[in-house]
A and B are shown apart, each in its own frame.
Chain A
Amino acid sequence: MSVKQSDAVIAEIRDLRVHFPVRRGRQQLIARAVDGIDLQIHEGEIVALVGESGCGKTTVARTLMRLQEPSSGSVAIGGVDITRARGRGLRRLRRDFQMIFQDPFECLAPNSTAIDVVTEGLRIHRGDLDAAARRAAGLTALEMCGLTPAATIAERRIFQLSGGQRQRVAIAAALAIEPRLLVADEPVSMLDVSLRAGVIRVLLNLRERLGIAMLFITHDLALAGVFADRVAVLYLGRVVEQGPAAEVIGSPRHPYTAALVGVMPKADGGHRGPRPILSGEPPNATATVLGCRFRPRCPLYRQLGEPDLCQAEEPALPIIASDDSADHVVACHFSDGDTSTTSKENIS
């Protein structure tokens, strides 16, 4: 339970699709990176988007930030459809949604000073502030991100800072303009394990004090489980399961989620017994699969004797599992039961 969360919806993604034309040899194929995603993020909420490579999570993030144009569907932030906005109008809207990028060594200009990076957004979006006010706001932001003494760090150049410090500068820059939504694309994956907690705490702090909602993209299910309020699991461009983080990971209803939970790396307990590892790899986004796209690798499909329904019809959200909370939804024809027992064994 968190402070400042409310039922107000900050971001609404409706039937988002992002398709890329791809040429392979002579063929003209379509890569369906994002193929119909619906997602809501409430005020002050942290939603994690989880999945393996190729599931579309990074494409969703970039489309949300309008670095990528959607093929269809819409994204509304603060009630405004940002997919229709262009030019100066779009630039003004950007104040409400900011992004933290994965690689802290690639996304900041190395010769800028930290204070320049942090106040850049203010220069663009807060024309009402003069230089002194901007600097003050920038220093406050740096402090809130744990970069102290702020006045000293402010004058350092980016190339003098470590990966963890750079990420904090990037977060400070984002929070300085007070966005309503923060999209964090794997913000700690490139940092050493011991440095990740520092950055994660900064993000949690922001949510506590400023009520900023977050979309947290990660492949690390354990981190998502500990950090986020809600988790959405992606497979091949669609959400296969969504719900409160503890519930989705504690009792996964979709066989893919169950498999991911089963192989979650653990540092204690030494060798583990056998657990279900999916064979093969996710097909790439150009493949066309009839019916449910997880069918080729689904252990449940095989277990149930390959029911026709899985090949005939693509399962859609929401199909609510009976004994879970109302917002735990699954896209599977047969989600009641079987997967939960296998996964519970592995969580202990």
Chain B
Amino acid sequence: MTGPMMNPSLDAAPATGHVAGGWRGVLRQLVADRMGRIGLLMVVAVVLVAVAGPLLAPYDRTAVAASRTGILQSPSAAHWLGTDELGRDILRQVLAGTSVSLEIGLIATLITVLIGTAVGVLAGWFTGFVDAVLMRITDFFLVLPSLPLMIALGAIIGQSLTMIVFVIALTSWPSTARIVRSQALAVREREVVARARTVGLSSAGILWRLILPGVLALVIANAVLVIAGSILAEATLSFLGLGDPTRTSWGQILHNAFVTGAVGNGYWWYFLPPGIGIVIVVLAFSLVGQSLERILDPRLAAAA
């Protein structure tokens, strides 16, 4: 038997997890993929808005209306998206909400990925008893319902965005752990790992230098999808009134809109913008995440 042809145009990503061209190559492939390209543009737009947004609308977010005529106004030249029940400019709130939603999404994702990857890698590497114990713990957290947990914790700790982040991470890390574990198990069987053992590398060394890099690609793709999920989760929880009323997140705006009866009374400028904002952000990260998954998962690449 002879080795494979060194023909770059016909090579799929080989089983050893080397992605042709490194991370720059990944970026190139992401841009080449239509879905990925659209998602990437949307993400960039969202991030720009989050960073620069508050500078765009001149109004003070919390400035309330001087009189009753200033409340619940439909869009006008003065207020592009109208005002809410306290006369506050909605555009300003929506723009501010972008950064809040992103912030929460990113922090929750970071915690989720850290815990999920650690658990997944350890379970996948040690197998046996350690794997069994870790997986039972994972299963326990997997079935925890987030809503009742939030309510209970909210009553105990008090409602805040920190608590939301905490609960989202708590209920999201198990699925990341399971994905990482599968990949860790696969990486463990590779000949690179067998050779590393014969050279004398310790378990810790192999984990750090071979297993972790081997799961990294999948973790990143998964993380991007978790961002989407976290933002949606936060929006849901805030909408249900479990969020922090003092911070303006889109979910919180929706909550206010709902409570004020905006839906029934047709104050579309109140509930549509934050809703659309949520859709755009979640869609953006989902597109990028799915595209990355396609590019980085060697099995999917081979099937393509």
Are chains A and B touching directly in their complex (CB below 8 angstroms)? yes
Query: What B residues does A111 contact at CB under 8 A?
Result: 18, 22
- Mark contacts of A172-191 with chain B using CB atoms, 8 A cut-off: 1 yes-contact digit, 0 otherwise: 01000000000000000111
* Chain B residues with a Cβ closer than 8 Å to the other chain, count: 25
Chain B residues 267 to 304 lying within 8 A of chain A, measured CB to CB, are none
Chain B residues 1 to 24 lying within 8 A of chain A, measured CB to CB, are 1-4, 6, 14-18, 22
Does the CB pair B192–A106 fall under 8 Å? yes
Q: Considering residues A88, A111, A162, which has the most beta carbons from chain B within 10 angstroms of its beta carbon?
A: A111
Does the CB pair A105–B199 fall under 8 Å? no
Q: Does B137 contact A (CB under 8 A)?
A: no
Q: Which of B1, B16, B195 contacts A190 (CB 8 A)?
A: B1
Q: Does B198 contact A (CB under 8 A)?
A: yes
Q: Does B133 contact A (CB under 8 A)?
A: no
Query: What B residues does A124 contact at CB under 8 A?
Result: 199-201, 205
Query: What B residues does A193 contact at CB under 8 A?
Result: 2
Query: What A residues does B34 contact at CB under 8 A?
Result: none
Q: Bound state CA distance, A111 and B205, in angstroms? A: 17
Q: Does B151 contact A (CB under 8 A)?
A: no
- Mark contacts of B191-214 with chain A using CB atoms, 8 A cut-off: 1 yes-contact digit, 0 otherwise: 110110111111001000110000
Query: What B residues does A189 contact at CB under 8 A?
Result: 1
Does the CB pair B195–A108 fall under 8 Å? yes
Does the CB pair B200–A125 fall under 8 Å? yes
Chain A residues 72 to 107 lying within 8 A of chain B, measured CB to CB, are 88, 91-92, 94-95, 98-99, 101, 103-107
Query: What A residues does B201 contact at CB under 8 A?
Result: 120, 124
Q: Does A109 contact B (CB under 8 A)?
A: yes
* Chain A residues with a Cβ closer than 8 Å to the other chain, count: 35
Query: What A residues does B22 contact at CB under 8 A?
Result: 111
Query: What B residues does A125 contact at CB under 8 A?
Result: 200
Query: What A residues does B199 contact at CB under 8 A?
Result: 94, 98, 120-121, 124, 173
Q: Does B190 contact A (CB under 8 A)?
A: yes
Query: What A residues does B210 contact at CB under 8 A?
Result: 109
Q: Does A276 contact B (CB under 8 A)?
A: no
Query: What A residues does B18 contact at CB under 8 A?
Result: 110-111, 159
With A67-B197, A98-B199, A124-B201 known as contacts, the answer to whether A106 contacts B1 (CB < 8 A) is: no
In whole Å, how far is A22's beta carbon from the nearest beta carbon of chain B?
A: 18
In whole Å, how far is B252's beta carbon from the nearest beta carbon of chain A?
A: 45
Q: Bound state CA distance, A110 and B17, in angstroms? A: 8
Q: Does A192 contact B (CB under 8 A)?
A: yes
Q: Does A163 contact B (CB under 8 A)?
A: yes
Query: What A residues does B195 contact at CB under 8 A?
Result: 99, 101, 107-108, 170
With A163-B3, A190-B1 known as contacts, the answer to whether A99 contacts B16 (CB < 8 A) is: no
In whole Å, how far is A96's beta carbon from the nearest beta carbon of chain B?
A: 10
Nearest opposing residue in chain A for B214, CB measure = A109
Q: Bound state CA distance, A68 and B173, in angstroms? A: 34
Q: Bound state CA distance, A125 and B202, in angstroms? A: 12
Q: Does A65 contact B (CB under 8 A)?
A: yes
Q: Bound state CA distance, A107 and B193, in angstroms? A: 8
Nearest opposing residue in chain B for A124, CB measure = B200
In whole Å, how far is B218's beta carbon from the nearest beta carbon of chain A?
A: 16
Q: Which of B192, B194, B198, B205 contacts A94 (CB 8 A)?
A: B198
Does the CB pair B200–A104 fall under 8 Å? no
- Mark contacts of A13-48 with chain B using CB atoms, 8 A cut-off: 1 yes-contact digit, 0 otherwise: 000000000000000000000000000000000000
Q: Bound state CA distance, A159 and B11, in angstroms? A: 12
Query: What A residues does B209 contact at CB under 8 A?
Result: 109
Does the CB pair B2–A67 fall under 8 Å? no
Q: Which of B17, B190, B192, B198 contacts A99 (CB 8 A)?
A: B198
Closest 9 A-B residue pairs measured CB to CB? A110-B18, A163-B3, A106-B191, A94-B200, A107-B191, A107-B195, A124-B200, A91-B200, A99-B198
Interface residues of B (CB under 8 A from A): 1-4, 6, 14-18, 22, 190-192, 194-195, 197-202, 205, 209-210
Known: A98-B199, A99-B195, A121-B199; 12 extra A-B contacts, CB below 8 A, are A67-B194, A67-B198, A91-B202, A101-B195, A103-B191, A106-B190, A108-B192, A109-B192, A109-B209, A110-B14, A111-B18, A192-B2
